[in-house]
Amino acid sequence: MRILITEDDAALAEALQFSLKQSGYAVDWVNNGSEADEALKDDVFGLLILDLGLPRLDGFEVLRRLRRRNRALPVLILSGREDPKEKVLGLDLGADDYLVKPFSLNELQARVRALLRRGQGNATPQIGYGGLSFDTVNRTTCIDGRALTLSVLETAMLEALLARFGRVVSKEQLVEQLYSYDREVSHNAIEVYIHRLRKKLAGAGITVRTLYGRGYLLDYVMQ
């Protein structure tokens, strides 16, 4: 899952990036509202973490413009402002959650997970198909109750495919979802990780099918 952080405090933004990347998310960061507005015109993010006190374009205006484009993107506002009126305004403009600074990274992570689950239509932290179970809180995977060892990138790729179970995901979509602006990846690398993931899912009753020229499909094993 790819997350955009819009925050002008570099130290805080770096801490957020580090924490979220450790959890397997692809994370981009911009430090002003104008760059955020431009970045959000591309439909590649699964979540926006938005500061209100931004230079060039404040957070409220970024949110207004986002919602005018009819985007249902989950938005978590981070703010040092404790005025209830501002919290009400942010929520009325379309934010999904509001977190006042200072906050713990553990709380932020929990709110991020909740918003991503809601955005994907999952009411619980467990996603299951066939014999596979994926825990979105601990980011662990099991097959018939047995732990499956996956790398951070394999976990992120599985999560992206699970979010679109039964639907085709192109290589371009996987690249956009799994890699931030500061990292480059080839389509060949995607093929390598898909191959590894397919082997590890053997026995789960689901597999990653390759649809040549279109992309990949996570689906039940055909009998």
Residue-averaged pLDDT of the chain: 89
pLDDT digits (tens, 9 = 90+) for 111-137: 999 898 887 666 567 889 999 999 887
Query: Is pLDDT above 80 for 218?
Result: yes
- 128, two tokens: 């299951």
Query: Is pLDDT above 90 for 3?
Result: yes
pLDDT score for 89: 94
pLDDT score for 182: 55
Q: Is the dihedral of CA 120, 125, 52, 175 positive or negative?
A: negative
Instruction: Give a three-class secondary structure readout of the chain.
Output: CEEEEECCCHHHHHHHHHHHHHCCCEEEEECCHHHHHHHCCCCCCCEEEEECCCCCCCHHHHHHHHHHCCCCCCEEEEECCCCHHHHHHHHHCCCCEEEECCCCHHHHHHHHHHHHHHHCCCCCCEEEECCEEEECCCCEEEECCEEECCCHHHHHHHHHHHCCCCCEECHHHHHHHHCCCCCCCCHHHHHHHHHHHHHHCCCCCEEEEEECCCEEEEEECCC
215, 170 Cβ separation under 8 angstroms: yes
Question: Percent of the chain at pLDDT above 70?
Answer: 95
In this structure, what are the phi and psi dihedrals at residue 132, rounded to the nearest 5 degrees? -95, 140
Q: In the chain, what are the domains? A: 2-119 (3.40.50.2300), 126-220 (1.10.10.10)
Reported as a pLDDT band with limits 50, 70 and 90, residue 42 is confident
* Distance in angstroms (rounded) separating the CA atoms of residues 65 and 184: 29
pLDDT score for 9: 95
pLDDT digits (tens, 9 = 90+) for 160-185: 899 889 999 999 888 887 776 556 66
3, 112 Cβ separation under 8 angstroms: yes
pLDDT score for 167: 93
Q: Is the dihedral of CA 50, 53, 54, 59 positive or negative?
A: positive
- Side-chain-side CA neighbours of residue 1 (13 Å): 23
* Distance in angstroms (rounded) separating the CA atoms of residues 165 and 159: 10
pLDDT digits (tens, 9 = 90+) for 52-105: 999 999 999 999 999 998 788 999 999 987 888 999 999 999 999 999 999 999
Of 27-41, 115-129, 193-207, the least confident: 115-129
pLDDT score for 122: 62
